[in-house]
Amino acid sequence: MQQEDLGGTSPALSGANLDSSNVTEAWTRIRGRLREEIGEIEYRTWMRQMTLAAIEGEEAVVQVPSRFLRDWLRSQYGDRLRALWQAENLGVRRVDIRVAPAPAPDGAAVDGEAMPRAVPEPARPAEARAADSRSADPRNDWAAPLDPRFTFDSFVVGKPNEFAYACARRVAEKPASPGFNPLFLYGGVGLGKTHLMHSIAWALREPGLDRSVAYMSAEKFMYRFIAALRSQSTMEFKESLRSVDVLMIDDLQFLIGKDNTQEEFFHTFNALVDAGKQIVVSADKSPSDLSGLEDRLRTRLGCGMVADIHATTYELRISILEAKAQAAGIPVPARVLEYLAHKITSNVRELEGALNRLIAHSGLFGRPVTLESCQEVLHDILRAHDRRVTIEEIQKRVAEHYNMRLADMSSARRARNVARPRQVAMYLAKQLTSRSLPEIGRKFGNRDHTTVMHAVAKVQELMQQDAGFAEDVELLRRMLET
């Protein structure tokens, strides 16, 4: 079985002078990291079926069951896989993704995923151990690899993130300028903090600029610190940190409750700022809301520029979907994008995951993306995002759709351009809620239940006569559906 093929007896492996547990642990860690980075949905879509076949010299050989998957993984994640392997410092320089026959009937064991130890919460003690063994060359390897997809170019700017984006740009152009040091970015999960930080780091690392930029998660910072303590190399650790031009720490909230690490970070922070170096930090809350961080650290964090990334708006979600669909080079109808933007409002990561799953599905089965296929493929995700719809929401959404005033849902006006959408809203209220006709009538300016009945019949009739109208109503229904 694959996992055991990785044992020390394999000639390929002994060639690379590695023992099996090192490699399997690294692979587990890499997959855990990927899973964290791209989210559960996308991970399952693309990576679940990857198995590590061998290490051949400097090359890690990864197998997947189809050419489509191979091509997609190569083009979308090839660089990332390579970077993650390189960061493991096991001598792997390249990753080759190959097509392998479908797993044997006992495939459960072939697919590392099914083995209990291979479902990776990023293996913490292992990471600390790895850090230990690598501390020999701290200057080069303690910064985490950057995701090649996370650049300013691929970041879609809209109202909720334009301020954070502008600050990030500014810091990338002129690091350590007064007023922008530290730059503190905060916002909820999946809204683009890490993307912006990597973008800054890429820009600062442009060839020719000769700046040393260290990016790492707060978690990694802690493990490196602990490893340094253990191997009694805290001096080297401190020196290497203090020798950078730009230090970026992602997800600082992780340091809450980790007093010693906080203390260390605080000193590093001060030393760097005093030396005119740039610090960029991200967290899920503003400095003042990060209770559990030491007061003096919070105060200093809030001293530069604090920029928040707000929850996405419908417009931003649409722009992001458009950009990603275009980048993937697969046509996705506007209706599908609108539908997704309405339905998946939690964060960009989820939105991206849903779109990628659609695209994958269409590629695998050679079928175009349609509203129907979208609902089918995303059934489970969409259900998780469902909620009970209210008559008020229906009125609001329908009014928006037809560009009429919400007040006219209840007004006495009978002009066609007001009366028709009102009828659609009544129809949808009947379809999507458990309200009775009189109850619905009351919500529409105290109208009689016979008026609602008439509206329902009228809309049904029109839907049969007019395909365009029917499609419109269907779209509204899908958007509102519980």
Per CB under 6 A, residues contacting ligand ADP are: 150, 154-156, 161, 187, 189-195, 320, 348-349, 352
Residue 135 or 194 with smaller CB distance to Mg ion: 194
Tell me the C-alpha distance between 316 and 55, whole Å: 43
Nearer to Mg ion, 86 or 194 (CB): 194
Spatial contact of 234 and 228, defined as CB atoms under 8 Å apart: yes
Q: Is residue 362 a contact point for Mg ion (CB under 5 A)?
A: no
194 is in an annotated binding site: yes
Spatial distance between the Cα atoms of 281 and 250, rounded to a whole number of angstroms: 6
- Least Cβ distance, residue 187 to ligand ADP (angstroms): 6
CB of 317 to ligand ADP, least distance (A): 10
Q: With respect to Mg ion, which residue has the nearer C-beta, 193 or 343?
A: 193
Return the one option of Mg ion, ligand ADP, none that residue 155 interacts with (CB less than 5 to 8 A, by type): ligand ADP
**In the 8-state DSSP scheme, what is residue 293?**
B
Does the CA dihedral 104-105-110-112 come out positive or negative?
positive
CA distance 231 to 112: 32
CA–CA distance, 439 with 450 (Å, rounded to integer): 12
Residue nearest to ligand ADP (CB): 192
Instruction: Please report whether residue 161 would count as binding Mg ion according to CB under 5 A.
Output: no
Among all residues, whose Cβ is closest to Mg ion?
194
Task: Report the nearest approach of ligand ADP to the CB of residue 66 (Å).
Answer: 24
What's the sign of the alpha-carbon dihedral 9, 12, 18, 24? negative
Rounded CA-CA distance 26/15 in Å is: 17
135 scored as a contact of Mg ion (CB under 5 A): no
CB of 43 to Mg ion, least distance (A): 15
Minimum CB distance to ligand ADP, residue 113 (Å)? 22
Q: Count Cβ atoms below 10 Å from residue 474 Cβ, excluding itself.
A: 13
Q: Nearest distance from residue 312's CB to ligand ADP, in Å?
A: 8
How big is the chain, counted in residues? 482
* Contact partner, 190, from Mg ion, ligand ADP, none, Cβ < 5-8 Å per class: ligand ADP
Asked if 199 touches Mg ion (CB under 5 A), the answer is no
Nearer Cβ to ligand ADP, position 31 or 349? 349
192 is in an annotated binding site: yes
> Which pair of structure tokens corresponds to residue 152?
């300013």
Residue 261 is a binding residue for Mg ion (CB under 5 A)? no
Q: Is 363 annotated as a binding residue?
A: no
**131 forms bridges with which residues in the sheet?**
none
Contacted entry of Mg ion, ligand ADP, none for residue 31, CB cut-off 5 to 8 Å set by kind: none
Nearer to Mg ion, 161 or 194 (CB): 194
217 binds Mg ion (CB under 5 A): no
Exposure string (b/e) for 339-350, b if CB count within 10 Å is 16 or more? bbbbbbeebbbb
Q: What is the distance, to the nearest Å, from the Cα of residue 381 to the centroid of all Cα atoms in its chain?
A: 15
Q: Which does 195 bind (CB under 5 to 8 A by kind): Mg ion, ligand ADP, none?
A: ligand ADP
Amino acid at 357: R
CB of 73 to Mg ion, least distance (A): 22
Crossing angle of helices 124-134 and 20-38, rounded to 10°: 120
CB closer to ligand ADP, 184 vs 444: 184
- Type of residue at 283: A
Contact status, residue 227 vs residue 260, Cβ threshold 8 Å:
no
* Contacted by 168, from Mg ion, ligand ADP, none: CB < 5 to 8 Å by type: none
Q: State the minimum distance, in angstroms, from the CB of residue 197 to ligand ADP.
A: 8
190 is in an annotated binding site: yes
**Residues whose CB falls within 8 Å of the CB of residue 256, separated by 6 or more in sequence, listed in order:** 290, 291, 292, 293
**Residue 228 CA, distance from chain mean position:** 31
Q: Please, which residue, 309 or 432, has the CB nearer to Mg ion?
A: 309
Cα distances from 359 to residues 31, 356, 373, 379, 479, in angstroms, run 22, 5, 10, 15, 20
Residue number with CB closer to ligand ADP (37 or 132): 37
Q: Binding to Mg ion by residue 194, rule CB under 5 A?
A: yes
Annotated binding site for ATP: 190, 192-194
Residues forming the site for Mg ion (CB under 5 A): 193-194
Annotated binding site: 190, 192-194
